[in-house]
């Protein structure tokens, strides 16, 4: 196992170095410094790491020149092509499922708070959690949509993911539109390893709209599982009584099914019940019910009466038989091959969605994902792309890292299956790359740059207003 993982990590590092077309040596050393650091509080402090053998100016040159975009209207198209090419490289390192019969993916958005960057263009009002009761969870900044692959894992394994696509959501776009673009790139490409096989994507309630689900239905081997808000109203398929003949278009929608009105629910078509034991030894009972061939209201462009789905309700009970949550969890299973998933698999797939939340937290706390300060939106996007690549190196080294517990961590339970957590791998990644070496060449000494001529005034940057959507 270690030989295979060692070969994969070495191959990825070589391929990653070859993919850089500007400042390849400085960019690669920046990724090594980012993946192995544990005390840096800003991006500039990464230049103090021993693996970064250049000055801090080379660090910023690597970030600003990561994507050599063309000028004009071709800039965004060129960047998207580069991101898709990188996605193809990452897809070859996604572990194929061995026990479950499907590939699992998740898409979610996270915010980058920049409320004081008045010279940063295209800022908007984005979600930001607030623990103070009564305060709105809103801040000013950018939002990013990230699609990740969720590898197969056993009980107790660390929450690892493989980030495939990452894109900033502009103020002219919606989160659903960007997620639909990810959908087309990842599940519509015939050259990717999961093409033609059953794929499952997990999303939150923002994507349970007719526009997104209609676009997901274009992929016949794809199943979408989204959470549904508890105030939605759905419908049963209309069953015409025997002998009924009416002129005009046949009726599609039958009786209403209001999620907050139990009296409108009919008898479920399928049920499943299991027990779950937490890490603290508490036993919970999970009851799952399903209603097949349900419908939702659509639009003229999205005829949802032609797209039936399965509605799933998940309720957790404690040892006394009392629900542990105030409201049940409602899931929508959408796709032509949805019947191939059991209720247990649907619940397990949605629970693994929260591994992406751990990835966002680790990226912001340990990989400086939301720390880079710049007045250029393109440079900020470059930094997010670099952080994703540094995380993939940690993922490929998860079997090679040794446990190096701190004095207060000696009594923590050891990970099963020899898998280390992302933080543990980052702690020992410096030792791993010293054994592998680096393809980056040593820096060449040169004279100091003359810099800006004395007396030349600096240009004042333009202040951009915050975009407020109607």
Give the global pTM: 0.91
Residues 6+ apart with CB under 8 A from 411: none
Question: pLDDT of 123-138, one tens digit each?
Answer: 999 998 888 888 889 9
Most distant CA atoms of the chain, gap in Å: 93
Pull the structure tokens for residue 4: 């295979």
Contact by Cβ (8 Å): 311, 347: no
The stretch 451-466 carries a mean pLDDT of: 86
What CATH class does 2-230+327-436 carry? alpha beta
The domain ranges of the chain are 2-230+327-436, 231-239+250-326
Question: pLDDT of 76-92, one tens digit each?
Answer: 666 777 778 888 899 99
Distance CA 107, CA 212 (A): 12
Measured CA to CA in angstroms, residue 125 lies from 112, 122, 136, 141 at distances of: 11, 10, 11, 6
Bridge partner residues of 166 (DSSP): 146
Distance CA 126, CA 107 (A): 17
pLDDT at residue 181 greater than cutoff 50: yes
How many helices and strands (H and E) does the chain possess? 10, 12
Beta pairing, strands 199-203 & 222-227: parallel
Question: How far is CA 216 from its chain centroid?
Answer: 17
Q: Which residue has the higher pLDDT, 421 or 250?
A: 421
**How much is the pLDDT for 248?**
67
Which residue reads 């009002």 in tokens?
Answer: 125
Question: pLDDT of 284-310, one tens digit each?
Answer: 999 999 999 999 998 888 888 889 999
Pull the structure tokens for residue 42: 């800003």
Which of 274, 293, 300 lies closest to 210 in space, CA to CA? 300
Helix (H, G, I), strand (E, B), or coil: what is residue 252? Answer: coil
Distance CA 419, CA 394 (A): 12
Question: How far is CA 47 from its chain centroid?
Answer: 28
């Amino acid at each position: 196992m270690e030989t295979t993982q060692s070969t994969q990590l070495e191959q990825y590092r070589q391929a990653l170095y070859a993919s850089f077309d500007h400042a390849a040596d400085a960019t690669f050393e920046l990724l090594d410094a980012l993946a192995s650091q544990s005390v840096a509080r800003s991006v500039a402090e990464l230049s103090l790491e021993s693996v970064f053998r250049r000055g801090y100016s080379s660090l910023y040159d690597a970030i600003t020149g990561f994507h050599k975009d063309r000028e004009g209207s071709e800039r965004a198209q060129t960047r998207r092509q580069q991101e898709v090419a990188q996605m193809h490289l990452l897809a070859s390192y996604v572990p194929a499922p061995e026990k479950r019969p499907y590939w699992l993916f998740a898409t979610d958005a996270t915010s980058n708070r920049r409320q004081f960057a008045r010279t940063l263009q295209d800022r908007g009002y984005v979600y930001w959690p607030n623990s103070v009761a009564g305060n709105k969870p809103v801040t000013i900044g950018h939002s990013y949509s990230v699609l990740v692959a969720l590898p197969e894992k056993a009980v107790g394994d660390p929450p690892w993911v493989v980030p495939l696509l990452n894109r900033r959501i502009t103020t002219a776009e919606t989160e659903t539109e960007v997620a639909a673009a990810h959908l087309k790139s990842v599940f519509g490409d015939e050259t990717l390893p999961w093409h033609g096989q059953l794929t499952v994507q997990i999303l939150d309630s923002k994507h349970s709209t007719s526009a997104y689900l209609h676009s997901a239905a274009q992929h016949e081997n794809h199943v979408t599982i989204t959470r549904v808000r508890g105030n939605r109203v759905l419908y049963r398929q209309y069953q015409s009584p025997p002998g009924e003949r009416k002129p005009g278009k046949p009726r599609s929608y039958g009786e209403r099914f209001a999620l907050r009105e139990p009296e409108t629910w009919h008898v479920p078509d399928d049920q499943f019940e299991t027990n779950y034991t937490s890490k603290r030894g508490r036993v919970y009972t999970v009851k799952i019910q399903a209603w097949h061939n349900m419908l939702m209201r659509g639009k003229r462009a999205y005829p949802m009466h032609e797209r039936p789905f399965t509605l799933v309700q998940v309720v957790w009970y404690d040892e006394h038989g009392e629900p542990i949550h105030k409201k049940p969890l409602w899931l929508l299973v959408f796709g032509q091959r949805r019947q191939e998933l059991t209720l247990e698999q649907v619940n397990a797939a949605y629970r693994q969605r929260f591994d992406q939340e751990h990835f966002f937290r680790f990226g912001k706390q340990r990989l400086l994902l939301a720390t880079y300060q710049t007045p250029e939106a393109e440079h900020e996007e470059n930094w997010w792309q670099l952080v994703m690549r540094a995380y993939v190196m940690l993922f490929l080294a998860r079997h090679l890292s040794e446990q190096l517990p701190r004095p207060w961590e000696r009594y923590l339970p050891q990970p099963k299956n020899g898998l280390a957590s992302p933080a543990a791998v980052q702690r020992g990644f410096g030792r791993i790359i010293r054994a592998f070496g680096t393809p980056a060449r040593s820096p060449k000494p040169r004279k100091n740059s003359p810099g800006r001529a004395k007396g030349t005034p600096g240009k004042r940057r333009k202040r951009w207003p915050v975009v407020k959507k109607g």
